[in-house]
Amino acid sequence: MARQQQNIVILISGVGSNMAAIAQTAARQAWFDRLGVCVAAVISNKPDAPGLKTARALGIDTHIVAHAGFDSREHFEAALVASIDSYAPALVVLAGFMRILTPAFVQHYAGRLINIHPSLLPAFPGLHTHQRAIDTGCRFAGATVHQVTAEVDHGPILAQAVVPVLPGDTAAALAARVGTQEHVIYPQAVRAFFERAA
């Protein structure tokens, strides 16, 4: 009996480097052949997001649901849900999607919505994580993949990576070091999600 295809939909707002890491890892590791898993679509809330071009080059469907075109968060999210659900996703991945999502949206995808955050949660939820880690005198920083809940940057932790904070680090230098690890652990966490469900 043929395995049922399990679709991933990835939401981006910008460059989409984590999206690309996931899609490229899926292709390299033959997720579709091994797990029936396919990165089916990339959706952006910004029409000029560079990641859309990257996704198209990788042969992935792309869509734009521009939040600026809606008169309320609820109307924007209704359109976003319609676009996502047209792919019947097994997993929705936030990869630099810079919009706060309502509890109703999170509940709709409960158990199948994940995010990556550039800190070792529960430390430094929110913005400016790298500068905050430096200012606090942290010796280590990192990234966290977690399930999304109604509370921002909370939810069960799925994976973490740790990097050192070096003497003289700037926020940009630390961000770059953390970013290389994000591109490792996010694909690993996505694959593990499907392996656990198999």
The per-residue pLDDT for 198 is 75
The per-residue pLDDT for 1 is 43
Residue 63 is among the residues annotated as catalytic for this protein: no
**Which one of 63, 67, 108, 117 is the catalytic residue?**
117
What angle is formed at CA 16 by the lines to CA 184 and CA 120, rounded to 5 degrees?
45
Q: Which pTM was predicted?
A: 0.96
Backbone angles phi, psi at 140, to 5 degrees: -135, 150
Asked whether residue 21 is domain-assigned, the answer is yes
pLDDT tens-digit readout, 129-173: 999 999 999 999 999 999 999 998 999 999 999 999 999 999 999
The per-residue pLDDT for 197 is 82
Query: How many structural domains is the chain composed of?
Result: 1
pLDDT tens-digit readout, 24-44: 999 999 999 999 999 999 999
Asked whether residue 1 is domain-assigned, the answer is no
Classify the C-alpha dihedral 111-55-153-101 as positive or negative.
negative
Any idea what DSSP says for residue 68? G
The per-residue pLDDT for 9 is 98
pLDDT tens-digit readout, 98-123: 998 999 999 999 999 999 999 999 99
Amino acid 132 reads: R
Could you tell me the CATH number of the domain that includes residue 10?
A: 3.40.50.170
Would you say residue 190 has pLDDT above 60? yes
Would you say residue 2 has pLDDT above 90? no
pLDDT tens-digit readout, 63-73: 999 999 999 99
Asked whether residue 137 is domain-assigned, the answer is yes
Asked whether residue 146 is domain-assigned, the answer is yes
The per-residue pLDDT for 3 is 66
Q: What's the CA gap between 43 and 176, in Å, rounded?
A: 24
Q: What's the CA gap between 157 and 58, in Å, rounded?
A: 29
Would you say residue 93 has pLDDT above 90? yes
Q: What's the CA gap between 80 and 94, in Å, rounded?
A: 13
Contact 65, 45 (CB under 8 A): yes
- Over residues 179-184, the mean pLDDT reads 98
Residue span of the structural domain in which 180 resides = 6-197
